[in-house]
Amino acid sequence: MQFDRRQLLLGGVGTAAGLMLPGSAFAQSPATIGTFPEGVTADSVFVGLTIPLTGVFSGDGGDLKLGYELAIAQINAGGDIAQKWGLKGKGVLGRQIKYKVSDTEGKPNLDVQSATQFIQRDKAIMVSGSVSSASAIALEELGSREKVLYMVGIAGSNDITGKNCQRYGFRSQQNAYMAAKAMAPVVAKALGKNVKSAFLVPDYTYGHTVYDSFAKFSAEQGWKQVAKEVVPLGTTDYSSALLNIANSGADVFVNIAFGGDAVASTKQAEQFGVLKRMKLVVPNLSSFQDKELGAELMQGVYGSCDFWWGLQDTYPLAKTFVESFVAQNKYYPRWGAHIGYMQTYLWAMSVERAGTFNPVDVIKAMESSKVQPYETTIGKVYFRAEDHQMVRPIPILRGKKPSEMKNKEDFYEIVDIADGESVMNAPDFFGCKLGPYT
Amino acid sequence: MPSWPVLISQAFNGLALGTLLALVSSGLTIILGTLGVLNFAHGALFAVGAYAAFVLLQYTSSFVLAIVVGCGFMLVLGFLLERIIIRYFYDRPHEDQILVTYGVGIVLVECVRAAFGGNAQRVPVPSWGQGATQMGFLIYPTYRLQLIAIIAGLLLSLYLVLYRTSMGLVVRAGIENPGMVGILGINVRRAFLLVFAIGVVAVGLAGMLYAPVVAVTPDMGANFMAQSFVVIVLGGLGSFPGAVIGGLIAGEIISLTSAFNSSYSEVMLYALMAVLLIMRPQGLFGSEGRA
């Protein structure tokens, strides 16, 4: 018997359609998928953490790691704090969380390598980590391929819940669009509407998406761009770009550089007299930028980030987080630690809501969190079903004068907490198409 | 087309940037030119210098004193590295030298990270260099202006030590024919030790002087190492005057390109290097053959 190709294709499509019908009519999760149920023993589950502990992101990575560890210890102990988050008993569904941390140096290939090891060798039921958007994109793709849940670490690019979004990836940090939309009206109110702005843009996905978003929303506030200096990632001497900015006649200097680059460029901007003549705005503040630059430079600077410890006055769970973190680690957590902490709790809560570690059910529990929002360190939040971006409030900060600081880490005051719902992009705005569950 | 004031500002900035690049590259080129060792720990030593300044500044609270003590520290570090590791590699192939110095670099960077963590440390601009100076239409940081003079002085003294003293002569002769120099009753190995240490001090000093300008992090040297290689390729591998001229050219390329579009500044630098490698592979001041 001979088939021609057309018949074969038609037959295939028909069979596939037939198979899909009962699937969508009676949605049922497969009994085995990814590392489930192999990775769930009677008393424990394994979580793999891919974190840069060396390399350029090691500062943020160290903070992130402490956040994960604090949450895991609290969840395993099953004390008051875990109960406040709504978890029952010790561990997650009675299982202790075991974990390993792999130093990925901030290099996406090492992220993928160690995550693969966690999945294949340790049967990780969940993977989390990353301090760069490039790593997060690689890891969420791996998660979707291996059908293992990936909770995004630090990563601000629009692409993660945009064109690179994945069924198995969930992000709690606001994207660049949300941050810019939340911030623009606040800074325009403080610094004026008729303002000339100069941008310093690091030349990679993060830099460009933050620039696009902030330029768009500041223009809506009447700001006029007079300079845009694009510099390579990891530049050490910004003098030539800063000379152009210094001569641009701008009123506001919008510095998008991140991490060590933010420190170097801001330090040099001050030396070029830029900060005397211009107000500094930082759409996404780096975790330790405050401490690294000092309050003298950071005073009056406007910025936004995932979390600031001052939020403990607003949200009860933030208070328990900050207090337990300080008791353990002797410094105030930055937003890296907060992301690790919150993502771990969100996963644990979703597993308990689903009543199983089966990733498909856990994903569905997270996707339906809009009707049953999570009570967290930043109040009530939920993951959008369409792109897995968290809808969440965004704190807008302003650097305090050294004389206003109540302790040596009291760098910012919270000038506004933007409502998450009002700053969201449409779910398909950045081209997100989530893949299949199975 | 940018205005004349912008072009002139950038040309001046290119000069400042160029002297810095020249100093950073000088340590690399001294060791390569005299000992024939390509030192891949160069970037790490730059960072060690910056951290030395950071620590010593806390104890001495004088920038000048910190730098003087820091140079002593780098000298000792250079001696130790040469005696314990590098001297065994003079006669080994280049690949071995690259591997061992690269390894030394990783160890040094991770030691710094273990001691100080991954976050940037603050080294303030010395009191005598604070603020910006207005020169006509050009505003320029005072400390960077002073650096131009300081570095010019340093480069000149390095040149004199290496090319106008009998020690320099011994070293260069020793590279060409160690056996003959030994027969003449001269201790070549000691001269090699000194040269390596001087190279380490030069790059460490660059790190110390640059610390108030850049972010002091364990990985700060990586970018400088890449740029240093471009500079010494431009100037000619192992040529000291070549490193100075190469540094100035690199500074001007980066800066003047920025007057038009800053995103192309590093691209232009590498493009120039590629063109030069095709037209004149030995670099501007390099000689064909041994490097």
- How many angstroms away from the CA of A230 is the closest CA of chain B? 5
Partner-chain contact A272 B139, CB within 8 Å: yes
Instruction: Indicate the average pLDDT of chain B.
Output: 89
Q: Please give the C-alpha separations between residue B259 and each of A243, B10, B120, in angstroms, as whole numbers.
A: 9, 6, 29
Q: Which of A259, A279, A305 is the last residue of a domain?
A: A305
A408 lies in a domain?
no
Q: Summarize the confidence of residues A114-135 as an average pLDDT.
A: 94
Sign of CA dihedral A398, A402, A403, A405: positive
> In angstroms, rounded to a whole number, what is the distance separating the alpha carbons of residues B41 and B53?
18
Best mutation target among A65, A229, A244, A268 (most B Cβ atoms within 10 Å) is A244
Task: Give the residue from B128, B122, B123 showing the smallest Cα distance to B147.
Answer: B128
- Give chain A's domain count: 2
* Bridge-based pairing state of the strands A394-399 and A302-304: antiparallel
* Whole-structure pTM value: 0.85
Q: Which phi and psi (to 5°) does residue B171 adopt? A: -60, -45
Q: Worst-scoring range by mean pLDDT, A6-15, A179-188, A221-230?
A: A6-15
Give the number of other CB atoms < 10 A from CB of residue A113: 15
ipTM of this complex: 0.83
Confidence grade of residue B264 (pLDDT, cut at 50, 70, 90): confident
Residues A90-113 have pLDDT tens digits of: 999 999 999 999 999 888 999 999
| Whether pLDDT at A421 is above 50 | yes
Residues A263 and A119 in one domain: no
CATH number at residue A82: 3.40.50.2300
A281 lies in a domain?
yes
What integer pLDDT is reported at residue A154 of this predicted model?
A: 93
A24 lies in a domain?
no
Partner-chain contact A244 B17, CB within 8 Å: no
| Whether pLDDT at B266 is above 50 | yes
> In angstroms, rounded to a whole number, what is the distance separating the alpha carbons of residues A263 and B217?
10
Residues A231 and A349 in one domain: no
Would you call A291 an interface residue with chain B, using a CB distance cutoff of 8 Å? yes
A371 lies in a domain?
yes
- Specify the residue for token string 């000298």: B75
How buried is B15 (Cβ within 10 angstroms: 0-12 exposed, 13-18 middle, 19+ buried)? middle
Residues A110 and A220 in one domain: no
Residues A196 and A294 in one domain: yes
Q: Which residue has the higher pLDDT, A21 or A91?
A: A91
Q: Which residue has the higher pLDDT, B161 or A387?
A: A387
Residues A247 and A320 in one domain: no
Would you call A211 an interface residue with chain B, using a CB distance cutoff of 8 Å? no
Would you call A61 an interface residue with chain B, using a CB distance cutoff of 8 Å? yes
Q: Which of A237, A270, A305 is the last residue of a domain?
A: A305
Partner-chain contact B215 A232, CB within 8 Å: no
Task: List residues of chain B with CB under 8 Å from any CB of chain A.
Answer: 5-6, 9-10, 13-14, 16-17, 20, 110, 113, 117-122, 125, 131-132, 139-141, 143-144, 213-215, 217-220, 222-224, 254-255, 257-259, 261-263, 265-266
A213 lies in a domain?
yes
- A271 neighbors B213 (Cβ within 8 angstroms): yes
Would you call A422 an interface residue with chain B, using a CB distance cutoff of 8 Å? no
Would you call A7 an interface residue with chain B, using a CB distance cutoff of 8 Å? no
Partner-chain contact A58 B255, CB within 8 Å: no
Residues A241-294 have pLDDT tens digits of: 999 999 899 999 999 998 888 999 999 999 998 999 999 999 999 989 999 999
Q: Which phi and psi (to 5°) does residue A194 adopt? A: -95, 75
A413 lies in a domain?
no
A336 neighbourhood in chain B, CB within 8 Å: none
Q: Which domains does chain B have, with CATH numbers?
A: 9-120+145-279 (1.10.3470)
Would you call A98 an interface residue with chain B, using a CB distance cutoff of 8 Å? no
Residues A154 and A240 in one domain: no
Residues B73-118 have pLDDT tens digits of: 999 999 999 999 999 998 889 899 999 999 999 999 999 998 998 8
B140 neighbourhood in chain A, CB within 8 Å: 272
Residues A81 and A188 in one domain: no
Residues A197 and A153 in one domain: no
Confidence grade of residue A354 (pLDDT, cut at 50, 70, 90): very high
Q: Which of A285, A305, A325 is the last residue of a domain?
A: A305
Confidence grade of residue A16 (pLDDT, cut at 50, 70, 90): very low
Q: Which residue has the higher pLDDT, B192 or A73?
A: A73
Residues A288 and A329 in one domain: no
The two tokens of residue A228 are 């845009």
- How many angstroms away from the CA of B122 is the closest CA of chain A? 6
Q: Which domain holds residue A140?
A: 44-174+310-392
Residues A201 and A279 in one domain: yes
A27 lies in a domain?
no
A267 lies in a domain?
yes
Confidence grade of residue A22 (pLDDT, cut at 50, 70, 90): very low
Q: Which of B10, B117, B258 sits opposite A62 (nearest CB)?
A: B117
Residues A79 and A140 in one domain: yes
Residues A133 and A223 in one domain: no
B132 neighbourhood in chain A, CB within 8 Å: 271-273
Q: Which residue has the higher pLDDT, A78 or B7?
A: A78
What integer pLDDT is reported at residue A27 of this predicted model?
A: 60
What integer pLDDT is reported at residue B1 of this predicted model?
A: 73
Please enumerate in sequence order all residues whose Cβ is within 8 A of that of A98, keeping only pairs 6 or more positions apart, or say none: A44, A45, A46, A47
> In angstroms, rounded to a whole number, what is the distance separating the alpha carbons of residues B236 and B248?
14
